[in-house]
Amino acid sequence: MVQTQTPSRSFVLIAPILLLGLAIFPWLGLPVYFISLLFTVFLYVTLASSWNLIGGFAGYLSFGHVAFFGIGAYVTALMMKGLKLSPLWTILSSIPAGGMAALIAFIVGYPCLRLRGPYFAVITFCFAFVVELGVKNLDILGGPEGLWLKSMDLPIHVIRAILFEVMLVIMVFAISLSIWTSRSKFGAGLRAIKEDEEVAQTMAINAPKLKIQAFALSAFFPGMAGGMYAYYLTYIHPDIVFDVMISILIVLMALFGGGGTWLGPIIGAVVLTLVNEGLSTFVKAEFARIIYGCLFIGVIIFMPNGIMEFLKKGGAKQAS
């Protein structure tokens, strides 16, 4: 079923107010913890919304999106080290970081996107491993020890606030792209590919071109987000920025909220990041992960179309 979504009028009213509220949030004098928490939420919303372009709309489940995140982190780190730019200035470097991620996605996507279903999932999964191992073996990238970055010469609160604002902007762009996709011909083409690629091609949809565009776009924002994350941590390590778990979390978030809609990944990312935060605060890490594992199973068994669809259906059942 191909459907276009139009943001309702209430959304048009609420969104700017919400954004304004978020923009002034770090300057309200709340503890740094809350700024960091929201930063993480923005990060995952960006990742899940971007993944959704290729995974949700086009139905090509990339299980290796963390590769683009990590590439962005390393590009930013190298620019900080190599060009010796002042840290504040290099915030702009997250743009080339995103560009690099998109370029690599373009090159890798060209052969990989010919594979479908599980084969695409497997090859992207391996791609992330290959990139991680490659980085670990290159001394110029710090090898298995990782890289230390120079932090900005500012109080921690201000640094976090700056990163918060930049991440907010990146997120707004990622969401805007997602909304635009859901309403445009581009998105309709991707949905047609998801439904049936052969049929789509007979309808004069240039599937290979659309897929590669979607893949490159879906890598761009994770690359930028990875760059910001590098600043945020000031220390990057292949095990952290290429963690398989991030790839899987992105997929879970998008599917939890409902892939193929612009709102789904946002809801999924917000809910699951908060759940994760709550869990890791109150229970042992292993138990938290076990609960996470149960979530995967629950989502797939009980709400394969995402929580929004699930709630809607539940409502419909009660009404009838």
Partner 1 sequence: MNAVLVLQSLISGIMMGSVYALLGVGFSLTWGVMKVIHISHAAFGLMGSFLAYTLLKWWGLDPILSLVISVPLLFVAACLVYRFLITPITQAKEVIVSSMILTFGIAIILENLMLLIWSPDPRLLTTAYTSKVLILGPLYFQYPRLAGFLMSAVGVLVIHFFLKKTLTGKAVRAAWQQSDAAQLYGVNLKRISMVTFGLAVASAGAGGVGMAFLYSFDPHTHNLWLIYLFLVVIVGGVGNVIGTALAGLIIGVITGLSLAFLPYQWVNLLTFGLLMIILLIRPHGLFRGEV
Task: Pick from 278, 304, 314, 315 the residue near partner 1 by CB under 8 A.
Answer: 304
Question: Which of 214, 252, 261, 248 minimizes the C-alpha distance to 112?
Answer: 214
CA pair distance 113, 60, nearest whole angstrom: 8
Query: Where does this chain touch partner 1 (CB under 8 A) — which range of 151-159, 205-213, 290-298, 308-316?
Result: 290-298
Q: Which of residues 28-87 bind partner 1 (CB under 8 A)?
A: 61, 63
Of 177 and 193, nearer to partner 1 (C-beta) is: 193
Q: Which of residues 219-258 bind partner 1 (CB under 8 A)?
A: 244, 248, 251-252, 255
| Alpha-carbon dihedral angle through residues 168, 174, 178, 184, given to the nearest 10 degrees | 120
Q: How far is the CB of 111 from partner 1 (least distance, A)?
A: 5
- Contact yes or no for 91/152 (Cβ under 8 A): no
292 part of the interface to partner 1, by CB under 8 A: yes
Query: Where does this chain touch partner 1 (CB under 8 A) — which range of 70-78, 133-141, 145-153, 230-238?
Result: 133-141
User: What would the two tokens of residue 319 be?
Assistant: 């009404």
Q: Which residues are within 8 A (CB) of 205 and not within 5 positions of it... i.e. 6 or more apart?
A: 189, 192, 193
Of 95 and 295, nearer to partner 1 (C-beta) is: 295
Residue 5 CA from chain centroid, whole number: 21
Return the half-sphere exposure (C-beta side, CA atoms, 13 A cut-off) of residue 128. 26
Task: Pick from 19, 205, 240, 295 the residue near partner 1 by CB under 8 A.
Answer: 295
Query: Where does this chain touch partner 1 (CB under 8 A) — which range of 17-25, 110-118, 168-176, 210-218?
Result: 110-118
CA pair distance 182, 52, nearest whole angstrom: 10
What are φ and ψ of residue 161, in 5° steps? -65, -40
284: left (phi over 0), alpha (psi -120 to 50) or beta: beta
Size of the site for partner 1 (CB under 8 A): 40
278 part of the interface to partner 1, by CB under 8 A: no
Q: Which amino acid is at 8?
A: S
Q: How far is the CB of 312 from partner 1 (least distance, A)?
A: 18
150 part of the interface to partner 1, by CB under 8 A: no
User: What would the two tokens of residue 313 be?
Assistant: 């259906």
Question: Which of 264, 273, 267, 310 minimizes the C-alpha distance to 292?
Answer: 273
Angle at which helix 32-52 crosses helix 156-183, to 10 degrees, equals 20
User: What would the two tokens of residue 285 be?
Assistant: 């890490």
Of 80 and 279, nearer to partner 1 (C-beta) is: 279
289 part of the interface to partner 1, by CB under 8 A: yes
Q: How far is the CB of 289 from partner 1 (least distance, A)?
A: 4
Of 67 and 179, nearer to partner 1 (C-beta) is: 67
195 part of the interface to partner 1, by CB under 8 A: no
Interface ranges with partner 1 (CB under 8 A): 61, 63, 111-112, 114-115, 117-119, 121-123, 125-127, 129-130, 133-134, 136-137, 244, 248, 251-252, 255, 286-287, 289-290, 292-297, 299-301, 304
